[in-house]
């Protein structure tokens, strides 16, 4: 079972790389941002609550994301493993995830720390054209990521292999670097 966590700022390429890994390794790609946006578009109560936070570039409260994630990782498509894209983003989420995984007897195989410069990220996100992607919101999201998510890497140090990948070059070039690391696990 290959269980991966992607840690990286919005727009750094987690989704693109996760899709390539999902195809090659036959593991489920779980993007909490996509799950939240699906709830928003379906008009669920979770979606309405999440939207009020996302519109301001803030993180959705842990309890909402954790409940959604717990149900997701027990589905059949996660039997070979999963990739978490956008979770955990905080120490509290990392600790809660550890609790959930321990109760299921799952372990994290690797944490991929994927990164790029702020200029590259802003350019990518503005080209993506989502309603919640304007320069002011992007800069706020990057600040939130830096202050809350980076410490999560320290949490996993010694608990899983940390793979540092710079998201520069074509998606295929970035993926080749990731694949080399995953194949060495």
Annotated binding site for AMP: 32, 37, 58-60, 86-89, 93, 130, 141
Instruction: Let me know if 89 is a catalytic residue.
Output: yes
Task: Return binding residues for ATP.
Answer: 11-16, 128, 169
Instruction: Let me know if 14 is a catalytic residue.
Output: yes
Instruction: Let me know if 130 is a catalytic residue.
Output: yes
Task: Return binding residues.
Answer: 11-16, 32, 37, 58-60, 86-89, 93, 128, 130, 141, 169
Let me know: does 35 contact 68? Beta carbons within 8 Å: yes
Report the C-alpha gap between 41 and 178 in whole angstroms.
32
Q: How far is CA 24 from the centre of its chain?
A: 18
Report the C-alpha gap between 137 and 153 in whole angstroms.
24
How many residues belong to the chain?
185
- Catalytic residue from among 23, 128, 143, 159: 128
- Catalytic residue from among 14, 51, 124, 177: 14
CB neighbours of 74 closer than 8 A, spacing ≥ 6? 104
Instruction: Let me know if 128 is a catalytic residue.
Output: yes
- Catalytic residue from among 130, 143, 159, 180: 130
Residues assigned a catalytic role: 14, 89, 128, 130, 141
């Amino acid at each position: 079972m290959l269980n991966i966590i992607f840690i990286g700022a919005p727009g750094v390429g987690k989704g693109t790389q996760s899709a390539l890994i999902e195809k090659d390794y036959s593991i489920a790609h779980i993007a909490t941002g996509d799950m939240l946006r699906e709830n928003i578009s379906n008009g669920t109560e979770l979606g309405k609550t999440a939207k009020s936070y996302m519109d301001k570039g803030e993180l959705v409260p842990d309890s909402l994301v954790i409940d959604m994630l717990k149900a997701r990782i027990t589905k059949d498509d996660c039997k070979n493993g999963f990739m978490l894209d956008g979770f955990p983003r905080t120490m509290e989420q990392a600790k809660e995830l550890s609790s959930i995984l321990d109760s299921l007897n799952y372990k994290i195989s690797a944490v991929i720390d994927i990164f790029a410069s702020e200029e590259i990220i802003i350019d990518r996100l503005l080209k993506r054209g989502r309603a919640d992607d304007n320069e002011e919101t992007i800069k706020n999201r990057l600040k939130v990521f830096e202050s809350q998510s980076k410490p999560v890497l320290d949490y996993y140090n010694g608990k899983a292999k940390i793979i540092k990948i710079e998201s520069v070059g074509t998606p295929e070039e970035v993926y080749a670097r990731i694949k080399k690391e995953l194949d060495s696990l």
